[in-house]
Chains A and B, each alone.
Chain A
């Protein structure tokens, strides 16, 4: 079946612009996660959704970052007033539930470059 998909695969923007990154989870998965992977680093947690609500947004670096999941499926990560330091690969993952035994399945990521 279809895995987690993310669009766009690459996004180049200018400093100060607004961007939206989209994630389509595996059908039926109630849990959705966003991670950010900077060059040479492992992924870092940003936010976790259970259904439509953000159960934990403690990893969002500041208030320029926001994510939604209005119907409990597709999620959009929104970044306002982008900065060069926001350049990274943004990964989305989904799992059946949010429990400790649930495997997280990752999408291919969106590479964001802020010029």
Chain B
């Protein structure tokens, strides 16, 4: 079945540091890939998405590229801010049941000033 594996947290960085959160997946067919973010006390929000191989999703300075050959969708940001502190979830939606999101376990990011 479908599954998502993302790097274990927590991740602690200083402000302006470079961020990478790894995500790999297993899925049937050609899934759509997502990064969701959950800020403290808030609901899950879509951060970015990519729907086909080699697509790059981007938002708020975050980027992720859909790599079919390595089944990966790593999240990156060149310079993190304290306000980026949150839990980040990688997720997929596969063609077989394209309404259902399959999530990774989440990675807690803390950015210190």
Query: Which residues of A are at the interface with B, using a C-beta cutoff of 8 A?
Result: 3-4, 31, 33, 35, 40-45, 48, 55-56, 59, 91, 93, 95, 98-101, 103-109
Q: B36 contacts which chain A residues (CB < 8 A)?
A: 106
Give the complex CA separation of A95 and B99 in angstroms.
9
Task: Assess whether A42 is in contact with B91, with CB atoms less than 8 Å apart.
Answer: yes
Give the complex CA separation of A95 and B93 in angstroms.
14
Task: Assess whether A99 is in contact with B98, with CB atoms less than 8 Å apart.
Answer: yes
Please give the distance in Å from A61's CB to the nearest CB on chain B.
Answer: 15
* Contact status of A41 and B99, CB under 8 A, knowing A91-B44, A103-B46: no
Query: With an 8 A cutoff between CB atoms, is B113 at the interface?
Result: no
Q: A106 contacts which chain B residues (CB < 8 A)?
A: 36, 43-45
CB contacts under 8 Å to A, within B25-78, are 32, 36, 41-46, 49, 51
Query: Which residues of B are at the interface with A, using a C-beta cutoff of 8 A?
Result: 4, 32, 36, 41-46, 49, 51, 89, 91, 93, 95, 97-106
Give the complex CA separation of A72 and B4 in angstroms.
31
Task: Assess whether B105 is in contact with A40, with CB atoms less than 8 Å apart.
Answer: yes
Task: Assess whether A100 is in contact with B98, with CB atoms less than 8 Å apart.
Answer: yes
Please give the distance in Å from B53's CB to the nearest CB on chain A.
Answer: 15
Please give the distance in Å from B42's CB to the nearest CB on chain A.
Answer: 7
Please give the distance in Å from A2's CB to the nearest CB on chain B.
Answer: 13
